[in-house]
Amino acid sequence: MEQSLQYTFLKKFLRKEEEGFSLIELVVVVAVLGVLSAIAIPTFNNIILKARQAGAASHVDALLKSASIYRINNASYPSN
């Protein structure tokens, strides 16, 4: 009797009545992905812009330090 109940239980939960996804489920997934990408892409672009600005500021700082060192050694700034 117990095996019969286990068999019925397993048969009920392992049986597949549906295969694949419905059109509504696919539309919902595409909509969610669209919303997430609409939020993520501008944020990612802003991060890239800030990184480029920080890199440029670092290069300008290095140029200023190099020019100062040149001035200390040569008593004038470089002409070019």
User: Where in the chain are the domains?
Assistant: 23-80
What is the distance between the alpha carbons of residues 52 and 18, in angstroms, rounded to a whole number? Answer: 51
The residue behind tokens 């700034």 is 77
pLDDT at 60: 98
Instruction: Tell whether the model's pLDDT for residue 56 goes beyond 70.
Output: yes
pLDDT at 27: 96
Please, which residues have CB within 8 angstroms of residue 61's CB and are 6 or more apart in sequence? none
What is the distance between the alpha carbons of residues 70 and 78, in angstroms, rounded to a whole number? Answer: 7
Q: How confident is the model at residue 28 (pLDDT cuts 50, 70, 90)?
A: very high
pLDDT at 49: 97
Whole-angstrom CA distances from 15 to 11, 19, 22 are 6, 11, 18
Q: What angle do CA 12, 15, 19 make, to 5 degrees?
A: 145
